[in-house]
Amino acid sequence: MTKIFDDPAQFADDALDGFVAANRKYVARVDGGVVRSTETPEGQVAVVIGGGSGHYPAFAGLVGAGLAAGSACGNMFASPSAGQVYRVAKASQTGGGVLLSYGNYAGDVLHFGQAQEKLNAEGIETRTVLVTDDIASAPLEEIGKRRGIAGDLTVFKVAGAAAEAGLDLDEVERLAIKANHHTRSLGVAFAGCTLPGASEPLFTVPEGMMSVGLGIHGEPGISDLPLPSASELAKLLVDGLLKDKPETAGRRLVPILNGLGTVKYDELFLLFGKIEALLTAAGLEIVEPECGELVTSLDMSGLSLTLFWLDAELEKFWAAPADTPAFRKGNLAPRRARAVESLAEAATTPGLAATPASTALAATAVGVLKEARSVVVEHEEALGKLDAIAGDGDHGIGMRRGVDAAVAAAEKSHAGGAGLEEVLAAAGEQWAERAGGTSGALWGAAVTAVGRTLGSKDAYTAADAAAAVNALRDAIVTLGKAEAGDKTMVDALLPFAETFTKAIDDGGSLAGSLRAAAEAAAEAADATAGLSPRKGRARPLAEKSLGHPDPGAVSFGLIARRVAEYAATIESH
Protein backbone atom coordinates (compact mmCIF):
# COMPACT_ATOMS: atom_id res chain seq x y z
CA MET A 1 0.00 0.00 0.00
CA THR A 2 1.24 3.49 -0.88
CA LYS A 3 1.75 5.40 2.36
CA ILE A 4 3.50 8.65 1.39
CA PHE A 5 1.23 11.26 -0.22
CA ASP A 6 -0.77 14.39 0.50
CA ASP A 7 -3.69 14.26 -1.93
CA PRO A 8 -4.10 10.88 -3.70
CA ALA A 9 -5.50 12.67 -6.75
CA GLN A 10 -2.23 14.63 -7.05
CA PHE A 11 0.08 11.67 -6.40
CA ALA A 12 1.25 11.23 -10.00
CA ASP A 13 1.96 14.94 -10.55
CA ASP A 14 3.67 15.35 -7.19
CA ALA A 15 5.85 12.28 -7.79
CA LEU A 16 6.80 13.51 -11.26
CA ASP A 17 7.76 16.92 -9.90
CA GLY A 18 9.99 15.25 -7.32
CA PHE A 19 11.54 12.99 -9.94
CA VAL A 20 12.48 16.03 -12.01
CA ALA A 21 13.89 17.81 -8.96
CA ALA A 22 16.16 14.81 -8.34
CA ASN A 23 17.24 14.46 -11.98
CA ARG A 24 17.59 17.93 -13.45
CA LYS A 25 20.78 17.03 -15.29
CA TYR A 26 18.72 14.60 -17.38
CA VAL A 27 15.15 15.88 -17.60
CA ALA A 28 12.98 18.97 -17.55
CA ARG A 29 9.29 19.21 -16.72
CA VAL A 30 6.88 20.19 -19.47
CA ASP A 31 3.11 20.23 -19.49
CA GLY A 32 2.23 16.56 -19.92
CA GLY A 33 5.46 14.87 -18.91
CA VAL A 34 9.23 15.26 -19.18
CA VAL A 35 11.80 15.88 -21.93
CA ARG A 36 15.57 15.88 -22.07
CA SER A 37 17.13 18.85 -20.32
CA THR A 38 20.20 18.60 -22.56
CA GLU A 39 20.76 19.59 -26.16
CA THR A 40 19.84 17.18 -28.94
CA PRO A 41 21.30 17.59 -32.44
CA GLU A 42 19.05 19.31 -34.93
CA GLY A 43 17.32 16.84 -37.23
CA GLN A 44 17.57 13.88 -34.85
CA VAL A 45 14.48 11.67 -34.64
CA ALA A 46 12.67 12.21 -31.34
CA VAL A 47 11.64 8.93 -29.73
CA VAL A 48 8.70 9.83 -27.49
CA ILE A 49 7.45 7.16 -25.12
CA GLY A 50 4.87 7.16 -22.37
CA GLY A 51 2.00 5.65 -20.49
CA GLY A 52 0.37 5.78 -17.10
CA SER A 53 2.25 6.65 -13.93
CA GLY A 54 3.07 4.00 -11.35
CA HIS A 55 5.58 2.05 -13.47
CA TYR A 56 8.88 3.77 -12.66
CA PRO A 57 11.51 3.55 -14.13
CA ALA A 58 9.09 3.40 -17.05
CA PHE A 59 8.52 5.80 -18.53
CA ALA A 60 10.09 9.04 -17.32
CA GLY A 61 13.22 7.29 -16.04
CA LEU A 62 14.14 6.28 -19.59
CA VAL A 63 14.45 9.83 -20.94
CA GLY A 64 18.00 10.81 -21.80
CA ALA A 65 20.76 10.57 -24.38
CA GLY A 66 20.72 7.33 -26.33
CA LEU A 67 17.18 6.49 -25.32
CA ALA A 68 13.95 8.54 -25.25
CA ALA A 69 13.70 12.22 -26.08
CA GLY A 70 10.58 12.64 -23.98
CA SER A 71 7.92 10.83 -22.03
CA ALA A 72 4.22 11.63 -21.76
CA CYS A 73 3.10 10.75 -18.24
CA GLY A 74 -0.54 9.97 -17.52
CA ASN A 75 -2.21 9.64 -14.16
CA MET A 76 -1.89 6.46 -12.11
CA PHE A 77 -2.28 3.52 -14.52
CA ALA A 78 -4.07 5.83 -16.99
CA SER A 79 -2.83 6.69 -20.45
CA PRO A 80 -1.69 10.26 -21.00
CA SER A 81 -4.16 12.39 -22.90
CA ALA A 82 -3.71 13.29 -26.54
CA GLY A 83 -2.88 16.83 -25.44
CA GLN A 84 -0.15 15.63 -23.11
CA VAL A 85 1.42 13.45 -25.80
CA TYR A 86 1.25 16.27 -28.33
CA ARG A 87 2.87 18.81 -26.00
CA VAL A 88 5.68 16.45 -24.98
CA ALA A 89 6.36 15.56 -28.61
CA LYS A 90 6.44 19.23 -29.62
CA ALA A 91 8.92 20.00 -26.84
CA SER A 92 11.08 17.00 -27.79
CA GLN A 93 11.33 17.19 -31.58
CA THR A 94 14.19 18.93 -33.36
CA GLY A 95 13.12 18.59 -36.98
CA GLY A 96 13.82 14.92 -37.67
CA GLY A 97 10.32 13.66 -37.05
CA VAL A 98 8.82 11.81 -34.09
CA LEU A 99 8.51 8.13 -33.29
CA LEU A 100 5.81 7.40 -30.71
CA SER A 101 6.22 4.09 -28.90
CA TYR A 102 4.16 2.66 -26.06
CA GLY A 103 2.46 -0.47 -24.80
CA ASN A 104 -0.53 -1.79 -26.73
CA TYR A 105 -3.43 -0.68 -24.53
CA ALA A 106 -6.70 0.73 -25.82
CA GLY A 107 -6.48 4.08 -24.05
CA ASP A 108 -2.89 4.67 -25.11
CA VAL A 109 -3.72 3.76 -28.70
CA LEU A 110 -6.57 6.29 -28.74
CA HIS A 111 -4.69 9.19 -27.17
CA PHE A 112 -1.32 8.67 -28.86
CA GLY A 113 -3.18 8.17 -32.13
CA GLN A 114 -4.97 11.49 -31.80
CA ALA A 115 -1.69 13.22 -30.98
CA GLN A 116 -0.05 11.63 -34.03
CA GLU A 117 -2.81 12.96 -36.27
CA LYS A 118 -2.36 16.47 -34.89
CA LEU A 119 1.43 16.38 -35.23
CA ASN A 120 1.25 15.12 -38.81
CA ALA A 121 -1.32 17.80 -39.64
CA GLU A 122 1.20 20.41 -38.47
CA GLY A 123 3.90 19.00 -40.73
CA ILE A 124 5.80 17.10 -38.02
CA GLU A 125 6.16 13.63 -39.50
CA THR A 126 5.15 11.16 -36.82
CA ARG A 127 5.05 7.36 -36.74
CA THR A 128 3.96 4.83 -34.12
CA VAL A 129 5.36 1.48 -32.99
CA LEU A 130 3.28 -0.48 -30.48
CA VAL A 131 4.96 -2.83 -28.03
CA THR A 132 3.28 -6.27 -27.99
CA ASP A 133 5.59 -8.54 -26.00
CA ASP A 134 3.24 -10.17 -23.45
CA ILE A 135 2.71 -13.78 -24.57
CA ALA A 136 -0.02 -14.36 -21.96
CA SER A 137 -2.35 -11.72 -23.38
CA ALA A 138 -3.05 -13.29 -26.80
CA PRO A 139 -1.97 -16.35 -28.81
CA LEU A 140 0.86 -16.13 -31.32
CA GLU A 141 -1.55 -15.98 -34.27
CA GLU A 142 -3.02 -12.79 -32.72
CA ILE A 143 0.30 -11.20 -31.82
CA GLY A 144 -0.98 -7.76 -32.78
CA LYS A 145 -3.48 -7.94 -29.90
CA ARG A 146 -0.83 -8.59 -27.28
CA ARG A 147 -0.20 -5.93 -24.67
CA GLY A 148 3.15 -4.37 -23.79
CA ILE A 149 4.88 -5.09 -20.49
CA ALA A 150 8.61 -5.08 -19.64
CA GLY A 151 9.53 -5.63 -23.29
CA ASP A 152 8.95 -1.89 -23.69
CA LEU A 153 12.58 -1.45 -22.74
CA THR A 154 14.06 -3.32 -25.69
CA VAL A 155 11.98 -1.43 -28.24
CA PHE A 156 12.65 1.96 -26.66
CA LYS A 157 16.37 1.23 -26.34
CA VAL A 158 16.85 0.12 -29.94
CA ALA A 159 14.81 3.04 -31.28
CA GLY A 160 16.65 5.54 -29.08
CA ALA A 161 20.06 4.20 -30.09
CA ALA A 162 19.11 4.30 -33.76
CA ALA A 163 18.02 7.92 -33.40
CA GLU A 164 21.24 8.72 -31.53
CA ALA A 165 23.20 7.21 -34.42
CA GLY A 166 21.58 9.72 -36.77
CA LEU A 167 19.35 7.32 -38.66
CA ASP A 168 16.26 8.78 -40.29
CA LEU A 169 12.66 8.20 -39.24
CA ASP A 170 12.12 5.33 -41.67
CA GLU A 171 15.08 3.43 -40.23
CA VAL A 172 14.26 4.19 -36.60
CA GLU A 173 10.73 2.95 -37.16
CA ARG A 174 11.95 -0.19 -38.95
CA LEU A 175 14.35 -1.08 -36.16
CA ALA A 176 11.75 -0.47 -33.45
CA ILE A 177 9.33 -2.80 -35.26
CA LYS A 178 12.08 -5.39 -35.59
CA ALA A 179 12.96 -5.13 -31.90
CA ASN A 180 9.33 -5.62 -30.93
CA HIS A 181 9.07 -8.68 -33.19
CA HIS A 182 12.10 -10.19 -31.43
CA THR A 183 10.82 -9.59 -27.88
CA ARG A 184 8.74 -11.92 -25.69
CA SER A 185 7.72 -11.53 -22.03
CA LEU A 186 5.83 -13.48 -19.37
CA GLY A 187 4.97 -12.29 -15.87
CA VAL A 188 3.75 -13.67 -12.55
CA ALA A 189 2.33 -12.04 -9.42
CA PHE A 190 2.29 -13.07 -5.77
CA ALA A 191 0.15 -10.15 -4.53
CA GLY A 192 -1.73 -7.24 -6.09
CA CYS A 193 -0.97 -3.53 -5.96
CA THR A 194 -2.92 -0.73 -4.28
CA LEU A 195 -3.55 2.69 -5.79
CA PRO A 196 -2.68 5.73 -3.64
CA GLY A 197 -5.53 6.44 -1.26
CA ALA A 198 -7.24 3.09 -1.88
CA SER A 199 -7.90 0.76 1.03
CA GLU A 200 -7.78 -2.47 -0.95
CA PRO A 201 -5.50 -3.86 -3.66
CA LEU A 202 -6.74 -4.03 -7.23
CA PHE A 203 -6.66 -7.81 -7.02
CA THR A 204 -5.60 -10.48 -4.57
CA VAL A 205 -3.80 -13.77 -5.02
CA PRO A 206 -4.91 -16.68 -2.82
CA GLU A 207 -2.49 -17.65 -0.06
CA GLY A 208 0.10 -20.11 -1.29
CA MET A 209 -0.72 -19.40 -4.94
CA MET A 210 0.84 -17.46 -7.82
CA SER A 211 -0.98 -15.63 -10.61
CA VAL A 212 0.44 -16.20 -14.10
CA GLY A 213 0.11 -13.67 -16.92
CA LEU A 214 -0.42 -10.48 -14.94
CA GLY A 215 -0.64 -7.04 -16.51
CA ILE A 216 1.40 -4.05 -15.39
CA HIS A 217 -1.69 -1.97 -14.58
CA GLY A 218 -2.89 -4.25 -11.84
CA GLU A 219 -4.76 -6.56 -14.18
CA PRO A 220 -4.94 -10.00 -12.53
CA GLY A 221 -3.30 -13.00 -14.14
CA ILE A 222 -4.97 -15.43 -16.49
CA SER A 223 -4.51 -18.43 -14.17
CA ASP A 224 -3.49 -19.27 -10.61
CA LEU A 225 -0.94 -21.97 -9.76
CA PRO A 226 0.49 -23.25 -6.48
CA LEU A 227 3.50 -21.18 -5.42
CA PRO A 228 6.55 -22.90 -6.98
CA SER A 229 10.16 -23.14 -5.89
CA ALA A 230 12.68 -20.81 -7.52
CA SER A 231 13.84 -23.57 -9.85
CA GLU A 232 10.26 -24.41 -10.82
CA LEU A 233 9.44 -20.75 -11.44
CA ALA A 234 12.51 -20.31 -13.63
CA LYS A 235 11.49 -23.34 -15.67
CA LEU A 236 7.91 -22.11 -16.06
CA LEU A 237 9.08 -18.74 -17.38
CA VAL A 238 11.84 -20.04 -19.64
CA ASP A 239 9.80 -22.90 -21.09
CA GLY A 240 6.85 -20.61 -21.80
CA LEU A 241 9.00 -18.07 -23.62
CA LEU A 242 11.04 -20.58 -25.59
CA LYS A 243 7.85 -22.11 -26.96
CA ASP A 244 6.92 -18.67 -28.32
CA LYS A 245 10.28 -17.60 -29.73
CA PRO A 246 10.31 -15.74 -33.07
CA GLU A 247 10.83 -17.74 -36.25
CA THR A 248 13.97 -15.71 -36.97
CA ALA A 249 15.48 -16.26 -33.51
CA GLY A 250 19.16 -17.12 -33.37
CA ARG A 251 21.27 -18.30 -30.43
CA ARG A 252 22.14 -14.94 -28.87
CA LEU A 253 19.62 -13.23 -26.61
CA VAL A 254 19.17 -10.70 -23.82
CA PRO A 255 17.28 -11.95 -20.75
CA ILE A 256 15.64 -9.19 -18.71
CA LEU A 257 14.37 -10.19 -15.27
CA ASN A 258 12.10 -7.40 -14.09
CA GLY A 259 10.80 -6.82 -10.58
CA LEU A 260 7.33 -5.33 -10.35
CA GLY A 261 7.65 -3.40 -7.11
CA THR A 262 8.25 -5.39 -3.94
CA VAL A 263 10.27 -8.44 -4.96
CA LYS A 264 13.71 -7.84 -3.47
CA TYR A 265 16.84 -7.70 -5.60
CA ASP A 266 18.27 -10.67 -3.71
CA GLU A 267 15.29 -12.75 -4.83
CA LEU A 268 15.65 -11.53 -8.40
CA PHE A 269 19.35 -12.39 -8.45
CA LEU A 270 18.63 -15.85 -7.05
CA LEU A 271 16.04 -16.46 -9.75
CA PHE A 272 18.25 -15.04 -12.48
CA GLY A 273 20.92 -17.62 -11.68
CA LYS A 274 18.38 -20.39 -12.30
CA ILE A 275 17.23 -18.72 -15.53
CA GLU A 276 20.77 -18.33 -16.83
CA ALA A 277 21.46 -22.03 -16.24
CA LEU A 278 18.33 -23.06 -18.14
CA LEU A 279 19.07 -20.79 -21.10
CA THR A 280 22.66 -21.97 -21.27
CA ALA A 281 21.54 -25.60 -21.13
CA ALA A 282 19.26 -24.85 -24.09
CA GLY A 283 22.30 -23.89 -26.15
CA LEU A 284 21.67 -20.15 -25.99
CA GLU A 285 24.26 -17.41 -25.50
CA ILE A 286 23.41 -14.63 -23.06
CA VAL A 287 24.35 -11.06 -24.04
CA GLU A 288 24.31 -8.03 -21.71
CA PRO A 289 21.39 -9.12 -19.48
CA GLU A 290 19.40 -6.90 -17.14
CA CYS A 291 18.12 -7.81 -13.68
CA GLY A 292 16.24 -5.29 -11.55
CA GLU A 293 13.22 -2.98 -11.57
CA LEU A 294 12.60 -1.70 -15.09
CA VAL A 295 8.80 -1.61 -15.54
CA THR A 296 7.02 -1.77 -12.19
CA SER A 297 3.42 -1.73 -11.00
CA LEU A 298 3.42 0.33 -7.81
CA ASP A 299 3.76 -2.09 -4.87
CA MET A 300 2.86 -5.26 -6.75
CA SER A 301 4.69 -8.36 -5.61
CA GLY A 302 5.64 -10.00 -8.87
CA LEU A 303 8.14 -10.22 -11.68
CA SER A 304 8.45 -10.84 -15.40
CA LEU A 305 11.02 -12.38 -17.69
CA THR A 306 11.70 -10.90 -21.11
CA LEU A 307 13.77 -12.58 -23.80
CA PHE A 308 15.09 -10.28 -26.51
CA TRP A 309 16.42 -12.31 -29.44
CA LEU A 310 19.36 -10.66 -31.17
CA ASP A 311 20.88 -10.49 -34.59
CA ALA A 312 23.97 -8.43 -35.40
CA GLU A 313 21.93 -5.30 -36.13
CA LEU A 314 19.80 -5.42 -32.99
CA GLU A 315 22.80 -6.30 -30.80
CA LYS A 316 24.62 -3.21 -32.00
CA PHE A 317 21.81 -0.91 -30.88
CA TRP A 318 21.11 -2.78 -27.63
CA ALA A 319 24.79 -2.42 -26.65
CA ALA A 320 25.01 1.24 -27.69
CA PRO A 321 25.60 3.81 -24.92
CA ALA A 322 22.68 5.39 -23.10
CA ASP A 323 22.54 7.80 -20.19
CA THR A 324 19.20 8.30 -18.43
CA PRO A 325 18.13 8.58 -14.79
CA ALA A 326 17.31 4.87 -14.56
CA PHE A 327 19.19 3.13 -17.39
CA ARG A 328 22.84 3.56 -18.30
CA LYS A 329 25.14 1.77 -20.73
CA GLY A 330 28.65 2.67 -21.80
CA ASN A 331 29.80 6.27 -21.94
CA LEU A 332 28.43 9.28 -23.74
CA ALA A 333 30.04 12.69 -23.96
CA PRO A 334 28.47 15.24 -21.62
CA ARG A 335 25.68 17.31 -23.17
CA ARG A 336 25.05 21.00 -22.68
CA ALA A 337 21.90 22.03 -20.88
CA ARG A 338 19.19 23.60 -23.00
CA ALA A 339 16.36 26.00 -22.35
CA VAL A 340 13.17 23.99 -22.47
CA GLU A 341 10.02 25.67 -23.68
CA SER A 342 6.81 24.04 -22.53
CA LEU A 343 3.65 24.47 -24.50
CA ALA A 344 0.85 25.53 -22.22
CA GLU A 345 -2.29 23.47 -22.30
CA ALA A 346 -4.19 24.89 -25.24
CA ALA A 347 -7.38 26.72 -24.43
CA THR A 348 -10.56 25.75 -26.24
CA THR A 349 -11.27 28.12 -29.13
CA PRO A 350 -12.83 31.15 -27.44
CA GLY A 351 -15.37 33.63 -28.60
CA LEU A 352 -17.78 31.41 -30.53
CA ALA A 353 -20.92 33.39 -31.31
CA ALA A 354 -23.72 32.46 -28.91
CA THR A 355 -27.43 33.20 -29.20
CA PRO A 356 -29.56 33.75 -26.07
CA ALA A 357 -31.01 30.27 -26.59
CA SER A 358 -27.53 28.79 -26.76
CA THR A 359 -26.45 30.57 -23.59
CA ALA A 360 -29.57 29.39 -21.78
CA LEU A 361 -29.08 25.81 -22.93
CA ALA A 362 -25.45 26.02 -21.80
CA ALA A 363 -26.73 26.48 -18.25
CA THR A 364 -28.74 23.28 -18.64
CA ALA A 365 -25.65 21.51 -19.97
CA VAL A 366 -23.71 22.53 -16.87
CA GLY A 367 -26.53 21.07 -14.79
CA VAL A 368 -26.41 17.82 -16.76
CA LEU A 369 -22.66 17.52 -16.19
CA LYS A 370 -23.15 18.14 -12.47
CA GLU A 371 -25.71 15.35 -12.34
CA ALA A 372 -23.27 13.07 -14.16
CA ARG A 373 -20.63 13.95 -11.60
CA SER A 374 -23.00 13.22 -8.75
CA VAL A 375 -23.80 9.71 -9.94
CA VAL A 376 -20.15 8.96 -10.72
CA VAL A 377 -19.07 10.04 -7.24
CA GLU A 378 -21.84 7.92 -5.73
CA HIS A 379 -20.71 4.80 -7.61
CA GLU A 380 -16.97 5.48 -7.93
CA GLU A 381 -15.85 2.69 -5.60
CA ALA A 382 -18.28 0.14 -7.04
CA LEU A 383 -17.16 0.92 -10.59
CA GLY A 384 -13.54 0.46 -9.56
CA LYS A 385 -14.24 -2.92 -7.98
CA LEU A 386 -16.13 -4.04 -11.06
CA ASP A 387 -13.26 -2.95 -13.30
CA ALA A 388 -10.73 -4.78 -11.12
CA ILE A 389 -12.35 -8.15 -11.87
CA ALA A 390 -10.76 -8.30 -15.30
CA GLY A 391 -9.09 -4.90 -15.73
CA ASP A 392 -6.93 -2.46 -13.84
CA GLY A 393 -9.57 -1.21 -11.40
CA ASP A 394 -9.30 2.48 -12.26
CA HIS A 395 -12.59 3.05 -14.09
CA GLY A 396 -14.30 4.76 -11.16
CA ILE A 397 -11.29 6.94 -10.42
CA GLY A 398 -10.84 7.82 -14.08
CA MET A 399 -14.49 8.74 -14.54
CA ARG A 400 -14.34 10.88 -11.41
CA ARG A 401 -11.25 12.74 -12.61
CA GLY A 402 -12.80 13.32 -16.01
CA VAL A 403 -16.21 14.51 -14.95
CA ASP A 404 -14.77 16.71 -12.18
CA ALA A 405 -12.60 18.46 -14.77
CA ALA A 406 -15.49 18.71 -17.23
CA VAL A 407 -17.76 20.37 -14.67
CA ALA A 408 -15.07 22.85 -13.64
CA ALA A 409 -14.33 23.77 -17.26
CA ALA A 410 -18.01 24.09 -18.16
CA GLU A 411 -18.74 26.32 -15.17
CA LYS A 412 -15.79 28.58 -15.95
CA SER A 413 -16.74 28.85 -19.61
CA HIS A 414 -20.40 29.53 -18.87
CA ALA A 415 -19.54 32.13 -16.23
CA GLY A 416 -17.61 33.96 -18.95
CA GLY A 417 -20.75 34.21 -21.08
CA ALA A 418 -20.05 31.35 -23.46
CA GLY A 419 -22.78 29.53 -25.33
CA LEU A 420 -23.50 25.83 -25.53
CA GLU A 421 -20.91 24.82 -28.12
CA GLU A 422 -18.05 26.58 -26.37
CA VAL A 423 -19.08 25.30 -22.94
CA LEU A 424 -19.24 21.69 -24.10
CA ALA A 425 -16.01 22.02 -26.09
CA ALA A 426 -14.24 23.13 -22.91
CA ALA A 427 -15.86 20.34 -20.91
CA GLY A 428 -15.02 17.66 -23.46
CA GLU A 429 -11.43 18.78 -23.81
CA GLN A 430 -10.88 18.70 -20.06
CA TRP A 431 -12.64 15.36 -19.62
CA ALA A 432 -10.22 13.78 -22.08
CA GLU A 433 -7.24 15.70 -20.69
CA ARG A 434 -7.74 14.82 -17.02
CA ALA A 435 -9.28 11.37 -17.14
CA GLY A 436 -6.84 9.77 -19.56
CA GLY A 437 -7.53 6.17 -20.52
CA THR A 438 -10.06 4.91 -23.02
CA SER A 439 -13.09 6.28 -21.22
CA GLY A 440 -11.55 9.76 -21.03
CA ALA A 441 -10.97 9.89 -24.76
CA LEU A 442 -14.45 8.58 -25.56
CA TRP A 443 -16.41 10.77 -23.15
CA GLY A 444 -14.37 13.81 -24.14
CA ALA A 445 -15.09 13.25 -27.81
CA ALA A 446 -18.77 12.58 -27.09
CA VAL A 447 -19.34 15.75 -25.07
CA THR A 448 -17.55 17.84 -27.68
CA ALA A 449 -19.60 16.27 -30.48
CA VAL A 450 -22.87 17.11 -28.73
CA GLY A 451 -21.87 20.77 -28.46
CA ARG A 452 -20.69 20.94 -32.05
CA THR A 453 -23.93 19.39 -33.32
CA LEU A 454 -26.25 21.64 -31.34
CA GLY A 455 -24.17 24.74 -32.10
CA SER A 456 -25.70 28.18 -31.59
CA LYS A 457 -29.32 28.51 -32.70
CA ASP A 458 -32.23 30.80 -32.01
CA ALA A 459 -34.28 27.82 -30.85
CA TYR A 460 -33.77 24.10 -30.28
CA THR A 461 -36.16 21.31 -31.20
CA ALA A 462 -36.64 17.66 -30.37
CA ALA A 463 -35.01 16.84 -33.70
CA ASP A 464 -31.90 18.70 -32.54
CA ALA A 465 -31.81 16.54 -29.42
CA ALA A 466 -31.98 13.38 -31.53
CA ALA A 467 -29.18 14.67 -33.75
CA ALA A 468 -27.06 15.39 -30.67
CA VAL A 469 -27.57 11.88 -29.29
CA ASN A 470 -26.64 10.38 -32.64
CA ALA A 471 -23.53 12.59 -32.75
CA LEU A 472 -22.58 11.34 -29.29
CA ARG A 473 -23.00 7.77 -30.51
CA ASP A 474 -21.01 8.33 -33.69
CA ALA A 475 -18.14 10.02 -31.85
CA ILE A 476 -17.73 7.09 -29.45
CA VAL A 477 -18.11 4.38 -32.07
CA THR A 478 -15.81 6.07 -34.58
CA LEU A 479 -13.04 6.77 -32.09
CA GLY A 480 -13.25 3.56 -30.07
CA LYS A 481 -14.03 1.25 -33.01
CA ALA A 482 -16.02 -1.07 -30.76
CA GLU A 483 -19.09 -2.91 -32.01
CA ALA A 484 -22.17 -4.39 -30.37
CA GLY A 485 -21.18 -7.52 -28.50
CA ASP A 486 -17.60 -6.43 -27.74
CA LYS A 487 -18.56 -5.90 -24.07
CA THR A 488 -17.85 -2.18 -23.92
CA MET A 489 -19.75 1.04 -23.34
CA VAL A 490 -21.06 0.69 -26.89
CA ASP A 491 -23.34 -2.16 -25.81
CA ALA A 492 -25.28 0.33 -23.65
CA LEU A 493 -24.82 3.29 -25.99
CA LEU A 494 -26.38 1.79 -29.12
CA PRO A 495 -29.75 0.85 -27.57
CA PHE A 496 -29.81 4.22 -25.81
CA ALA A 497 -29.42 6.11 -29.09
CA GLU A 498 -31.81 3.86 -30.99
CA THR A 499 -34.53 4.05 -28.34
CA PHE A 500 -34.21 7.81 -27.93
CA THR A 501 -34.33 8.53 -31.65
CA LYS A 502 -37.36 6.31 -32.16
CA ALA A 503 -39.20 7.85 -29.23
CA ILE A 504 -38.56 11.37 -30.52
CA ASP A 505 -39.60 10.37 -34.05
CA ASP A 506 -42.83 8.96 -32.58
CA GLY A 507 -43.61 12.32 -31.00
CA GLY A 508 -42.42 11.60 -27.48
CA SER A 509 -41.39 14.33 -25.07
CA LEU A 510 -37.72 14.93 -24.36
CA ALA A 511 -37.98 13.69 -20.78
CA GLY A 512 -40.05 10.66 -21.73
CA SER A 513 -37.74 9.75 -24.57
CA LEU A 514 -34.70 10.07 -22.31
CA ARG A 515 -36.36 7.92 -19.67
CA ALA A 516 -37.08 5.13 -22.17
CA ALA A 517 -33.58 5.38 -23.63
CA ALA A 518 -31.96 5.31 -20.19
CA GLU A 519 -33.86 2.16 -19.23
CA ALA A 520 -32.78 0.51 -22.47
CA ALA A 521 -29.16 1.47 -21.74
CA ALA A 522 -29.30 0.18 -18.16
CA GLU A 523 -30.83 -3.13 -19.24
CA ALA A 524 -28.23 -3.52 -21.98
CA ALA A 525 -25.45 -2.73 -19.50
CA ASP A 526 -26.69 -5.47 -17.17
CA ALA A 527 -26.84 -7.87 -20.11
CA THR A 528 -23.13 -7.42 -20.80
CA ALA A 529 -22.53 -9.81 -17.90
CA GLY A 530 -23.16 -12.63 -20.34
CA LEU A 531 -20.68 -11.33 -22.92
CA SER A 532 -17.01 -12.14 -23.35
CA PRO A 533 -14.83 -9.03 -23.87
CA ARG A 534 -13.26 -8.62 -27.29
CA LYS A 535 -11.55 -5.27 -26.72
CA GLY A 536 -9.66 -3.45 -23.99
CA ARG A 537 -7.70 -4.64 -20.98
CA ALA A 538 -10.37 -7.16 -19.99
CA ARG A 539 -9.97 -9.14 -23.23
CA PRO A 540 -7.11 -11.39 -22.03
CA LEU A 541 -9.18 -12.21 -18.92
CA ALA A 542 -12.43 -13.07 -20.66
CA GLU A 543 -13.21 -16.00 -18.38
CA LYS A 544 -12.96 -13.86 -15.24
CA SER A 545 -15.14 -11.21 -16.84
CA LEU A 546 -18.03 -13.58 -17.58
CA GLY A 547 -20.89 -13.12 -15.17
CA HIS A 548 -19.99 -9.48 -14.48
CA PRO A 549 -21.22 -6.48 -16.50
CA ASP A 550 -18.80 -4.19 -18.29
CA PRO A 551 -17.89 -1.17 -16.12
CA GLY A 552 -17.98 1.25 -19.06
CA ALA A 553 -21.47 0.11 -20.01
CA VAL A 554 -22.59 0.31 -16.38
CA SER A 555 -21.29 3.86 -15.91
CA PHE A 556 -22.99 4.93 -19.14
CA GLY A 557 -26.28 3.44 -17.93
CA LEU A 558 -25.97 5.17 -14.56
CA ILE A 559 -25.31 8.55 -16.16
CA ALA A 560 -28.14 8.07 -18.66
CA ARG A 561 -30.62 7.36 -15.86
CA ARG A 562 -29.51 10.35 -13.81
CA VAL A 563 -29.71 12.68 -16.80
CA ALA A 564 -33.21 11.38 -17.59
CA GLU A 565 -34.29 12.11 -14.01
CA TYR A 566 -32.82 15.61 -14.28
CA ALA A 567 -34.64 16.21 -17.56
CA ALA A 568 -37.92 15.22 -15.92
CA THR A 569 -37.45 17.81 -13.17
CA ILE A 570 -36.69 20.52 -15.73
CA GLU A 571 -39.73 19.59 -17.82
CA SER A 572 -41.99 19.65 -14.75
CA HIS A 573 -40.86 23.19 -14.03
Q: Per residue in 176-201, pLDDT tens?
A: 999 999 999 999 999 989 989 888 88
Which residue did the predictor score with more confidence, 337 or 408?
Answer: 408
Omega before residue 190 within 30° of 0, cis: no
- In this structure, of 97-106, 149-158, 327-336, 523-532, the range with the lowest mean pLDDT score is 327-336
The predicted structure's pLDDT at residue 9: 85
The predicted structure's pLDDT at residue 572: 62
Nearest to 392 by CA among 152, 535, 220: 220
- In the chain, CATH 1.25.40.340 covers 356-572
The predicted structure's pLDDT at residue 350: 55
Q: Is 347 exposed, middle or buried (0-12, 13-18, 19+ CB in 10 A)?
A: exposed
Catalytic residue positions, numbered? 217
Query: 475-487: b or e for each residue (b if 16 or more CB lie within 10 Å)?
Result: bbbebbebeeebb
Phi then psi for residue 186, to 5 deg, are -145, 135
Omega before residue 325 within 30° of 0, cis: no
Question: Which tens digits make up the pLDDT trace of 461-483?
Answer: 999 999 999 999 999 999 999 99
pLDDT grade for 388, boundaries at 50, 70 and 90: confident
Question: Which tens digits make up the pLDDT trace of 396-416?
Answer: 989 999 999 999 999 999 999
Reduced to 3 states, what is the DSSP secondary structure of residue 74?
strand
Dihedral of CA atoms 323, 327, 331, 335 in degrees, nearest 10, equals 10
Report d(CA 296, CA 71) in Å as an integer.
Answer: 16
| Residue 211 near residue 228, CB atoms below 8 Å | no
> What architecture (CATH level 2) is domain 8-329?
3-Layer(aba) Sandwich (3.40)
For the ranges 81-90, 216-225, 431-440, the maximum mean pLDDT occurs at 81-90
Reduced to 3 states, what is the DSSP secondary structure of residue 99?
strand
Mean pLDDT of 32-52: 97
pLDDT grade for 573, boundaries at 50, 70 and 90: low
- In the chain, CATH 3.40.50.10440 covers 8-329
Over 90: is that where the pLDDT of 37 sits?
yes
Partners of 360 in the β-ladder? none
The predicted structure's pLDDT at residue 346: 55
Mean pLDDT of 124-140: 96
Q: What is the pTM of this model?
A: 0.91
Q: Compute the mean pLDDT over every residue in the chain, rounded to the nearest whole number.
A: 94
Over 80: is that where the pLDDT of 367 sits?
yes
Which H or E element spans position 16?
A: helix 11-22
Cβ contacts of residue 425 below 8 Å, gap of 6+? 348, 349, 352, 448, 451, 452
Dihedral of CA atoms 85, 87, 89, 90 in degrees, nearest 10, equals 160
Dihedral of CA atoms 444, 446, 449, 455 in degrees, nearest 10, equals -90
Dihedral of CA atoms 498, 478, 433, 202 in degrees, nearest 10, equals 80
The predicted structure's pLDDT at residue 536: 58
Report d(CA 91, CA 362) in Å as an integer.
Answer: 35
Return the number of other C-beta atoms located less than 10 Å from residue 18's C-beta.
Answer: 10
Question: Which CATH code, of 3.40.50.300, 1.25.40.340, 1.10.10.1590, 2.70.70.10, is assigned to 356-572?
Answer: 1.25.40.340
| Residue 284 near residue 252, CB atoms below 8 Å | yes
Mean pLDDT of 53-80: 97
Mean pLDDT of 331-346: 79
251: Cα within 13 Å, side-chain hemisphere = 6
